[in-house]
Homo-oligomer: A and B are copies of this chain.
Amino acid sequence: MGAKLLLDRKQQSDLFLLSQGAFAPLSGFQDSDAVNAVLDAGRLPDGQPWSIPIVLLADERPAADRVVLVDESGEAIGRLDVRSAYALDKQRYASAVFRTTDVKHPGVAWLLSAGKLALAGPVEADPEWVARYALEFDLPASPAETHAEIAARGWRTVVGFQTRNPIHRAHEFLIKIALESVDGLLLQPLVGETKPGDVPAEVRLDCYRALLDNYFVAGRTLLAALPAWMRYAGPREAIFHALVRRNYGCTHFIVGRDHAGVGSYYGPFDAQQIFSDYRDEELGIQPVFFDRVFYCRRCASMATPKTCPHPSDFHLELSGTQVRQMLGRGELPPPEFSRPEVAEILARHYAALELAGGVA
């Protein structure tokens, strides 16, 4: 007895999600066979779809197999039953999951900086810690909570939307298109760790609430938190995000352009194409694909390359960088790009950053 293992924020997130069924059918950190099956085939050894190995990387094997998991304050938050330990082949992991071994890729950087030894085995989380952890987000954060909310609303079909950014009109447009054919929306921003420069979760949550309150039908939306961390694994993470949303009760999942991408490691539609490796029935959720979305002055509406025939000089498209620069200068993006209620929240955030001397 007495073996302890300190979990960092990412590992705490994995513990929470594993213990709550968000990563079902997984209930613990994966062993070598499972990891190899996922890396080679994008499936678990029994053939079920799974795209990102969930591994617990440590520097060394704990002194005992029953390990108490602790957080940075030293408090016990759960238990791990170490069934095996193995050296993870990080090059192989990176090549399969991130499609690159470039250390500038944030997922690769995480992998290389983590421990060498993978500890595998089932986990349990301390219920009080689970409650405290979920409370941080002040939103439904576990599959049990979203299932209850979905049941209370009587939705039979639910589309999930993953985001780590504020929602502008382009994404509002495609969410609303999806809402024409399903009963409800699970807007489930990722609130775990993202990369520096991303808008903090609490500011984004204010933006989401402003958007839902002003532009969506009450009773058709559910705002929840996904306390996962971003892997930036593009196509593999799109499958992962879809499977996780299935576990949270979604029947449909929106996959836009460059889902979970970073830099130019993935083609803009790689994260859609990968779905053809799986049947919808085995995923248990139906992907809903969208192309690039922009405002077209000639169409006088939001549009995509599938529906708008007009040349690009009619199109209003702003990059994330352009929007950050406008907001940093105290300018609001045009209402065709961003709802004023959302733009104002972001403007206040960037003004505060500016005062603190911190806009990139």
Q: Which residues of A contact B (CB under 8 A)?
A: 173-174, 176-177, 179-181, 214-218, 220, 288-291, 299-309, 335-336
Contact = CB atoms under 8 A, between A and B. Distances in A.
A181 B217 contact: no
A181 B159 CA distance: 15
A64 to B, nearest CB: 54
28 contacts: A173-B301, A176-B303, A176-B307, A177-B177, A177-B180, A179-B306, A179-B307, A180-B290, A180-B304, A180-B306, A180-B307, A181-B288, A181-B289, A214-B309, A215-B299, A215-B309, A216-B307, A217-B305, A217-B306, A217-B308, A217-B309, A218-B309, A220-B306, A220-B307, A300-B335, A300-B336, A301-B301, A301-B302
A309 B214 CA distance: 8
Most chain B beta-carbon contacts within 10 A, residue among A176, A180, A291: A180
Contacts of A218: 309
A236 B303 CA distance: 34
Contacts of A291: 180
Given A180-B290, A216-B307, A220-B307, 16 more contacts: A173-B301, A174-B180, A176-B303, A177-B177, A177-B180, A179-B306, A180-B291, A180-B304, A180-B306, A181-B289, A214-B309, A216-B309, A220-B306, A300-B336, A301-B301, A301-B302
Contacts of A308: 217
Copies of this protein chain in the complex: 2
List the 6 closest A-B pairs by CB distance, nearest first: A176-B307, A217-B309, A177-B177, A179-B307, A179-B306, A301-B301
Nearest to A212: B309
Most chain B beta-carbon contacts within 10 A, residue among A214, A289, A309: A309
Contacts of A174: 180
Contacts of A336: 300
B217 A307 contact: yes
Contacts of A309: 214-218
Contacts of A215: 299, 309
Contacts of A299: 215
A237 B181 CA distance: 22
Contacts of A288: 181
Contacts of A220: 306-307
Contacts of A216: 307, 309
A236 B353 CA distance: 62
A53 to B, nearest CB: 32
Most chain B beta-carbon contacts within 10 A, residue among A176, A220, A303: A176
A289 B291 CA distance: 22
A305 B218 CA distance: 11
A309 to B, nearest CB: 5
A291 B220 CA distance: 15
